[in-house]
Amino acid sequence: MTTSTLPAVSLTETAAGHIAEIIGQPNIEGKGLRIYVETGGCSGMSYAMEIAPRKEGDEVFSAHGVNLYVEDRGLVYLAGSVIDYKDGLSGAGFRITNPNAKQTCGCGKSFEA
Protein backbone atom coordinates (compact mmCIF):
# COMPACT_ATOMS: atom_id res chain seq x y z
CA MET A 1 0.00 0.00 0.00
CA THR A 2 1.32 3.42 -0.90
CA THR A 3 0.88 6.57 1.12
CA SER A 4 0.17 9.99 -0.26
CA THR A 5 0.00 13.62 0.82
CA LEU A 6 -2.78 14.26 -1.72
CA PRO A 7 -6.37 14.63 -0.47
CA ALA A 8 -8.35 11.42 -0.11
CA VAL A 9 -10.83 10.10 -2.60
CA SER A 10 -14.10 9.46 -0.78
CA LEU A 11 -17.31 7.51 -1.14
CA THR A 12 -20.79 8.62 -0.17
CA GLU A 13 -22.81 6.35 2.07
CA THR A 14 -25.07 5.52 -0.91
CA ALA A 15 -22.09 4.47 -3.06
CA ALA A 16 -20.60 2.42 -0.24
CA GLY A 17 -23.93 0.65 0.31
CA HIS A 18 -24.16 -0.24 -3.37
CA ILE A 19 -20.59 -1.58 -3.37
CA ALA A 20 -21.37 -3.68 -0.28
CA GLU A 21 -24.41 -5.15 -2.06
CA ILE A 22 -22.31 -6.10 -5.09
CA ILE A 23 -19.46 -7.57 -3.08
CA GLY A 24 -21.59 -9.30 -0.49
CA GLN A 25 -20.86 -9.33 3.19
CA PRO A 26 -18.68 -10.48 4.78
CA ASN A 27 -16.12 -9.46 2.19
CA ILE A 28 -13.73 -12.38 2.62
CA GLU A 29 -12.01 -11.80 -0.72
CA GLY A 30 -10.89 -8.24 0.12
CA LYS A 31 -12.63 -6.70 -2.86
CA GLY A 32 -13.58 -3.06 -3.23
CA LEU A 33 -14.27 -0.46 -5.88
CA ARG A 34 -11.04 0.00 -7.86
CA ILE A 35 -10.84 3.21 -9.84
CA TYR A 36 -8.22 4.34 -12.33
CA VAL A 37 -7.76 6.87 -15.11
CA GLU A 38 -7.17 6.01 -18.77
CA THR A 39 -6.15 8.16 -21.70
CA GLY A 40 -9.07 8.63 -24.07
CA GLY A 41 -12.68 9.65 -24.02
CA CYS A 42 -14.21 12.77 -25.50
CA SER A 43 -12.45 15.08 -23.02
CA GLY A 44 -9.00 13.45 -23.05
CA MET A 45 -9.04 11.25 -19.92
CA SER A 46 -11.66 8.77 -18.80
CA TYR A 47 -12.61 7.07 -15.56
CA ALA A 48 -12.54 3.30 -15.30
CA MET A 49 -13.89 1.24 -12.40
CA GLU A 50 -14.15 -2.37 -11.43
CA ILE A 51 -15.05 -4.43 -8.39
CA ALA A 52 -11.71 -6.06 -7.65
CA PRO A 53 -9.11 -6.77 -5.00
CA ARG A 54 -6.37 -4.24 -4.37
CA LYS A 55 -3.48 -4.34 -6.82
CA GLU A 56 0.12 -3.58 -5.93
CA GLY A 57 0.69 0.18 -5.73
CA ASP A 58 -2.97 1.07 -5.18
CA GLU A 59 -3.81 3.69 -2.58
CA VAL A 60 -6.43 2.36 -0.16
CA PHE A 61 -9.28 4.45 1.24
CA SER A 62 -12.07 3.11 3.44
CA ALA A 63 -15.51 4.61 3.89
CA HIS A 64 -18.72 3.30 5.43
CA GLY A 65 -17.27 -0.21 5.77
CA VAL A 66 -16.01 -0.72 2.21
CA ASN A 67 -12.67 -0.21 0.49
CA LEU A 68 -11.85 2.06 -2.40
CA TYR A 69 -8.66 1.29 -4.33
CA VAL A 70 -7.14 4.06 -6.43
CA GLU A 71 -4.38 3.31 -8.90
CA ASP A 72 -1.33 5.32 -7.83
CA ARG A 73 -0.87 6.92 -11.28
CA GLY A 74 -4.47 8.15 -11.27
CA LEU A 75 -4.46 9.57 -7.76
CA VAL A 76 -3.07 12.93 -8.88
CA TYR A 77 -6.14 13.33 -11.14
CA LEU A 78 -8.63 11.97 -8.60
CA ALA A 79 -7.40 13.54 -5.33
CA GLY A 80 -10.29 15.14 -3.48
CA SER A 81 -12.94 13.45 -5.64
CA VAL A 82 -16.21 12.16 -4.23
CA ILE A 83 -17.80 9.04 -5.68
CA ASP A 84 -21.57 8.70 -5.39
CA TYR A 85 -24.12 6.25 -6.75
CA LYS A 86 -27.23 7.55 -8.52
CA ASP A 87 -30.25 5.55 -9.60
CA GLY A 88 -32.63 7.63 -11.66
CA LEU A 89 -34.52 7.98 -14.91
CA SER A 90 -31.35 8.90 -16.80
CA GLY A 91 -29.64 5.70 -15.68
CA ALA A 92 -27.96 4.17 -12.70
CA GLY A 93 -24.28 4.17 -11.89
CA PHE A 94 -21.40 5.66 -10.03
CA ARG A 95 -20.85 9.40 -10.49
CA ILE A 96 -17.60 11.20 -9.75
CA THR A 97 -17.38 14.80 -8.57
CA ASN A 98 -13.78 15.68 -9.39
CA PRO A 99 -12.38 19.06 -8.24
CA ASN A 100 -9.38 18.59 -10.58
CA ALA A 101 -11.43 18.36 -13.78
CA LYS A 102 -11.19 21.51 -15.88
CA GLN A 103 -13.90 20.22 -18.19
CA THR A 104 -16.13 17.14 -18.32
CA CYS A 105 -18.14 15.60 -21.11
CA GLY A 106 -21.90 15.24 -21.08
CA CYS A 107 -21.77 11.55 -20.20
CA GLY A 108 -19.69 12.21 -17.08
CA LYS A 109 -17.23 9.45 -17.92
CA SER A 110 -14.41 11.56 -19.27
CA PHE A 111 -12.68 14.75 -18.23
CA GLU A 112 -9.87 17.15 -19.01
CA ALA A 113 -7.26 17.64 -16.32
CATH number for position 86: 2.60.300.12
Question: Could you tell me the residue range of the domain that residue 21 belongs to?
Answer: 10-112
Cα–Cα distance for residue pair 31/74, rounded to 1 Å: 19
Displacement of CA 30 from its chain's centroid (Å)? 16
Residues 6+ apart with CB under 8 A from 62: 68
The more confidently predicted of residues 42 and 60 is 60
59 close to 70: Cβ distance less than 8 angstroms: yes
60 close to 31: Cβ distance less than 8 angstroms: no
Query: Is the pLDDT confidence value at 1 over 60?
Result: no
pLDDT confidence of 11, banded at 50, 70, 90? very high
Task: Indicate the number of domains in the chain.
Answer: 1
